[in-house]
Amino acid sequence: MDTPRVGIPDHLAARMTMPEQHEYLRGRIGQAGRIGRRGLLRGGTLLAGTVAGAGLLGSSTGPAGASADAALTGPGLLTSPATARVDGSLVAPFGRHLAFGSDPKTRMTVSWQVPFPVRKPFLRVGPKPWELSRRIEAEVRPLHTPSLAAGLPAVDQYYLHVALERLRPGTTYYYGVGHEGFDPADPRRLSAIGTFRTAPAGARAESFVFTAFGDQGVSYDALANDQVILGQNPAFHLHAGDLCYADSSGQGAASDTYDARVWDQFLAQTETVASRVPWMVTTGNHDMEAWYSPEGYGGQNARWTLPGGGPDPVKAPGVYSFVYGNVGVVALDANDVSHEIRANTGYTDGAQTRWLDRRLGELRADRDIDFVVVFFHHCAFSTTSAHASDGGVREAWVPLFDKHRVDLVVNGHNHVYERTDALRGGATARRVEIGGSVSSVRDGIVYVTAGGAGKALYSFPVPDSYEGRPAEVESVPSYSWSPDGAKTPETVEWSRVRYTGFSFLAVEVTTGPRPELKVTALAENGERVDHFTITHR
């Protein structure tokens, strides 16, 4: 007898929110229980890991949807019939990536992946590459993805995390990751040693650089951008969502085409930078993976450990904030307020927006913070032919950005570089030319779309206009997304710089009596396409 499928029919998925899809799948899986778990997996059932505890996928019986022979059976020991006898010395960790903890001066998380189950995974850390005496057991977060479509295999992935605390501010540390049979302290493994540096103790102790982009994926252009970013020696990097595109459709539906193996490629590609530069991510529409609860973010909880502090670190992992030097950074999940892609619209029931209001107020009240930077995926202001501007973002958050005098907003979603003039209330308050200076206190907020990280590029309805190739236009025909999912036409005058090319932002933060944000947009070949300065004067 053929095994029945229990996925969501396309005509139903199109009308369901993410929580409704999970409820439907749970009910269907329960009805199909009589055919047995292995039958479900062979039939392509959309089973996914569920969250047990603070972001830990799986439980003492293994990840939900995995067979009992792939269970977490002891302290740090994962076994399965196919891999139980693999020699640990032959299993190399990969995909190392860093993320700040709640206090970048004293906390850092190191995360990585192994291709097979290993015994007793751990991290070593120390002040010198030859002094990695401290050994810390890793937390294992296994993630099982069943066969979701013809030609795609079931995939088991093993993510490991160590959260370091009580570090010294402004200090460079060396680290290595390993497991039984693979010790990074072994002289033969020294090439696997990584480094990171904690934030300085004083808010204005030193100038620094951070970088930002969105919409990366796996490509030669994405890799080229990464290498140019590394050359900026950034203190941290902001990734404004749409990380790897394992979900190529981006609708947050169980009917989306999804290949979990793309995450392996992405983390391997990014490791050269993310293993030494904290890679601070948030969630885009392609990061809503309907096979993992809650809200399609269970996969995010397995792969990343982010600072938390938002309204719900498990349900909304891409919502958090941190302070580095004299800059407060806020990450948001625009899936929650989007009018365009509605799978997760309203999933926090307003909690994220209320938290944003409070957090921006707290950052502005901190006298040690000169600048506040906010980043998220869907654009508040963009004119591309693909996604343009999201009216939901404008309605929910732009008034709060104005209220709390945010200095810079960075978005992705549109695969281009575009920069506005200084805006107040969504209208131009001051024209900001290339090479110009703007006071975020007096003039308004500059919004940057930095979505040229590596995925196929979009187009503008008018010619590009960037450094070395200006093309003056009085206005740009565009649109914004309305609550009913329709496009509302508009003609705008705030589109100041447009560049159809792979690129990223590099922001130099200066301190002293006249602090500044010196913002530069660089193409993947390192050429400058835009620059301007944000001050409080």
Output Rg (C-alpha) for the chain, integer angstroms. Answer: 23
Answer whether residue 181 is part of any domain.
yes
> How many separate helices (H) and strands (E) can be counted in the chain?
9, 29
Answer whether residue 41 is part of any domain.
no
- 185 and 315 in a single domain? The answer is no
- 367 and 508 in a single domain? The answer is yes
The CA–CA distances, whole Å, from 364 to 48, 405, 406, 504 equal 41, 8, 9, 27
Q: Which of 149, 172, 195 is the last residue of a domain?
A: 195
Checking if the pLDDT of 227 tops 50, the result is yes
- 68: phi then psi, degrees, rounded to nearest 5: -65, -20
- 514 and 376 in a single domain? The answer is yes
What are the residues whose beta carbons fall under 8 Å from the beta carbon of 186, sequence distance 6 or more? none
Answer whether residue 19 is part of any domain.
no
- 146 and 294 in a single domain? The answer is no
- Closest by CA position to 96, among listed 347, 268, 300: 268
Share of the chain above pLDDT 70, in %: 84
The mean pLDDT value for 190-194 works out to 86
- Closest by CA position to 500, among listed 462, 467, 460, 469: 460
Task: Specify whether the CB–CB gap between 402 and 364 falls below 8 A.
Answer: no
- Integer Cα distance of 287 and 448 in angstroms: 21
The mean pLDDT value for 201-214 works out to 95
The mean pLDDT value for 230-250 works out to 97
pLDDT tens digit sequence for 109-137:
999 999 999 999 999 999 999 899 789 99
Buried b (16+ CB within 10 A) or exposed e, 207-240: bbbbbbbbbbbbbebbbbbbebbbebebbbbbbb
- 309 and 386 in a single domain? The answer is yes
Q: What is the domain range of residue 102?
A: 89-195
Checking if the pLDDT of 6 tops 50, the result is no
Strands (E), 251-378: 279-281, 320-324, 327-331, 371-375
The band of 43, judged by pLDDT with boundaries at 50, 70 and 90, is very low
- 288 and 240 in a single domain? The answer is yes
Answer whether residue 75 is part of any domain.
no
pTM value is: 0.87
- Closest by CA position to 396, among listed 310, 332, 481, 337: 337
The band of 40, judged by pLDDT with boundaries at 50, 70 and 90, is very low
- 141 and 282 in a single domain? The answer is no
The CA–CA distances, whole Å, from 172 to 107, 361, 382 equal 13, 32, 39
Tell me 4's DSSP state.
Answer: P
The CA–CA distances, whole Å, from 460 to 213, 338, 451, 490 equal 19, 21, 13, 14
Domain count, the chain: 2
- 189 and 219 in a single domain? The answer is no
Residue that has been written with the tokens 């590459």 in this structure: 129
Checking if the pLDDT of 33 tops 70, the result is no
- 376 and 522 in a single domain? The answer is yes
The CA–CA distances, whole Å, from 509 to 7, 488, 517, 535 equal 49, 37, 5, 10
The mean pLDDT value for 194-217 works out to 96
Answer whether residue 78 is part of any domain.
no
Provide the 10 A C-beta neighbour count for residue 278: 26
Checking if the pLDDT of 65 tops 60, the result is no
Task: Specify whether the CB–CB gap between 496 and 464 falls below 8 A.
Answer: no
Checking if the pLDDT of 445 tops 90, the result is yes
Answer whether residue 297 is part of any domain.
yes
- 336 and 235 in a single domain? The answer is yes
Element (H, E) at 378: none
* Token pair for 531: 């620059």
C-alpha count within 13 angstroms, C-beta hemisphere, residue 399: 6
- 399 and 250 in a single domain? The answer is yes
- We report the CATH number of the domain holding residue 133 as 2.60.40.380
Q: Residue 528: is it exposed, middle or buried by C-beta count within 10 angstroms (0-12/13-18/19+)?
A: middle
Residue type, 96: R
Q: Residue 306: is it exposed, middle or buried by C-beta count within 10 angstroms (0-12/13-18/19+)?
A: buried
Q: Which of 135, 168, 195 is the last residue of a domain?
A: 195
Answer whether residue 22 is part of any domain.
no
- 157 and 304 in a single domain? The answer is no
* Token pair for 390: 């999201």
Task: Specify whether the CB–CB gap between 239 and 196 falls below 8 A.
Answer: no
**Per-residue confidence (pLDDT) for residue 188, from 0 to 100:** 84
* Token pair for 45: 């059932």
Tell me 191's DSSP state.
Answer: G
Mean pLDDT, the chain, integer: 87
- DSSP string of 237-274, one letter each residue: EEE-S--S-SBSS-S--TTS-B-THHHHHHHHHHHHHH
Answer whether residue 46 is part of any domain.
no
- We report the CATH number of the domain holding residue 243 as 3.60.21.10
Q: Which of 152, 173, 195 is the last residue of a domain?
A: 195
pLDDT tens digit sequence for 350-361:
999 999 999 999
The mean pLDDT value for 252-256 works out to 90
Task: Specify whether the CB–CB gap between 498 and 198 falls below 8 A.
Answer: no
